[in-house]
Amino acid sequence: MSETGSISSATQSNPPLKDTTIESTNLDSVDTVASPVPTQGISADTNTDAATTTAPAEEVTIPKVTEANVEHRFLLSLREAAALIGKKGATIKRIREDNDVKIAINASSPLCTDRILQCNGSIENVSKAIVDCLKVIKENVNKPTKPFSFSFLNSLMSKPTTSDFKNVKTDEDLENVQSIRLILSTSMIGAVIGKNGNIIKKLMEDHDVRIVASKRQLPDSFERILEIQGLANEIAECLTVVSHIVLANRVIDPKGERRYVPHAEKHARNNNNTNTKKYTGSVVVPEKYVGTLIGVKGSRINNLRSFTNTEINIVNFKDEATNENKSRFTIVGKYEKNVKTAESMLIRNLEAERVKSKNREARTGGKKSDNQADTNVSKKGDAVNASTPIAVEF
């Protein structure tokens, strides 16, 4: 399997299976977080108004299988994927050879901000390979300073602290805390959680990790994210147990378990197509006022373009009816409101200039009159009452 080998997906469209999650508080309402809960004695998370002791928990048995191979898929950011591939694929090749696994990252897709790491091999070797992957990411990828646009890449739990782990005692240890985003079907998520969350709680207690099961399914699929957070070796040990759970609950014919394939979400794909409709309007201006409306070196018209976020093109023509030279200011914009605003401001300023011109002519004794500005407005009600013209600076 090559470094950029594509990953196939099923295309069934049966309704998703029932989503089994664990109640949580003070965290993102979109996802479900399972927090470590002591099985006996005094609970550190117990509300003071509730009972402070709990009965011994029912013993949880996690299945073990003898099958040799397991296949896991993990969600990666583009930077994580690039680091794992390495120069000319050298890094992922080394991980493959050192751990005797089949490992590949799907080819990148346009407008897509995520990729998938697929790893196949013995349970033990796959876990070791993931430890190597985490080391590469820690050494080569800085922690993100802002959220990813694809929300599933963002951590589903609160920022880790030393109080969240038994083996993380210092801030230096905290720097070594990492996460993996394991992709599992909805039914498999339920198997990992267990009845009343008993399995996922045991996983966290036994392996000193935090685990989040997302409520939302990945786009166009019946798969979700299981985020496991902790030290690399602890994550690997937890993943080993999860592998046994996955194999023990594997569906031979997974109808309806449509797999996730990285691609731009619908809203992202349509980004280039939104607001493709153009609204237009125009104002016809006598030649004598064109220069004033444009401004020195185009300053006024440029300000109008910027203020209304529209395109304004000016075309000179000769009015056959009046034999006068005029200019047509054509306004084009993505939003009707912006086009109307630009039209209104042009008309108001034009009428203000006409009043100023008439006042100057009156002072000089001239009785010249000029034609009213012709306007061609795209929608009814766009015309502006010019009986009391107001100059709007732009």
Question: Mapped to the 3 state alphabet, what secondary structure does the chain carry?
Answer: CCCCCCCCCCCCCCCCCCCCCCCCCCCCCCEEEECCCCCCEECCCCCCCCCCEECCCCCCCCCCCCCCEEEEEEEEEHHHHHHHHCHHHHHHHHHHHHHCCEEEECCCCCCCCEEEEEEEEEHHHHHHHHHHHHHHHHHHCCCCCCCCCCHHHCCCCCCCCHHHCCCCCCHHHHCCCEEEEEEEEHHHHHHHHCHHHHHHHHHHHHHCCEEEEECCCCCCCCEEEEEEEECHHHHHHHHHHHHHHHHHCCCCCCCCCCCCCCCCCHHHHHHHHCCCCCEEEEEEEEHHHHHHHHCHHHHHHHHHHHHHCCEEEEEEEEECCCCEEEEEEEEEECCHHHHHHHHHHHHHHHHHHHHHHHHHHHHCCCCCCCCCCEEECCCCCCCCCCCCCCCCCC
> Cα separation of 88 and 50, whole Å?
59
Residues 330/315, Cβ–Cβ less than 8 Å: yes
- For the stretch 70-111, pLDDT in tens is 999 999 999 999 999 999 999 999 999 999 999 999 988 777
- What count of other Cβ atoms lies within 10 Å of the Cβ of residue 273? 7
Q: Which of 299, 296, 328 is nearest to 312 (CA)?
A: 328
Please give the pLDDT value at position 118: 96
Judging by DSSP bridges, how do beta strands 324-333 and 311-319 pair with one another?
Answer: antiparallel
| Per-domain residue ranges of the chain | 31-269, 276-376
Distance CA 122, CA 227 (A): 21
For residue range 23-78, list pLDDT tens digits in order. Answer: 333 333 334 444 444 333 333 333 333 333 344 456 778 888 887 799 999 999 99
Cα distance between residue 376 and residue 383, in whole Å: 9
Contact status, residue 292 vs residue 351, Cβ threshold 8 Å = no
Please report the pLDDT score of residue 168 as a whole number.
Answer: 92
Task: Identify the pLDDT of residue 62.
Answer: 81
pLDDT in tens, 178-206: 999 999 998 899 999 998 999 999 999 99
CATH of the structural domain 276-376, one choice from 3.30.300.90, 3.30.1370.10, 3.40.50.300, 1.10.600.10: 3.30.1370.10
10-residue block means of pLDDT along the chain (394 residues)? Answer: 42 39 36 42 35 50 81 95 94 96 88 92 96 96 88 92 92 93 93 92 95 91 94 96 91 67 60 64 91 90 90 88 88 89 92 89 66 42 38 46
Query: pTM score, two decimals?
Result: 0.56
User: What is the per-residue pLDDT for 208?
Assistant: 95
Q: Please report the pLDDT score of residue 319 as a whole number.
A: 82
**Sign of the Cα pseudo-torsion (31, 8, 246, 178, in order):** negative
Q: How far apart are CA 129 and CA 232, in angstroms?
A: 11
Q: What is the pLDDT of residue 36?
A: 44
Q: What is the CATH number of domain 31-269?
A: 3.30.310.210
* Amino acid letter for position 268: A
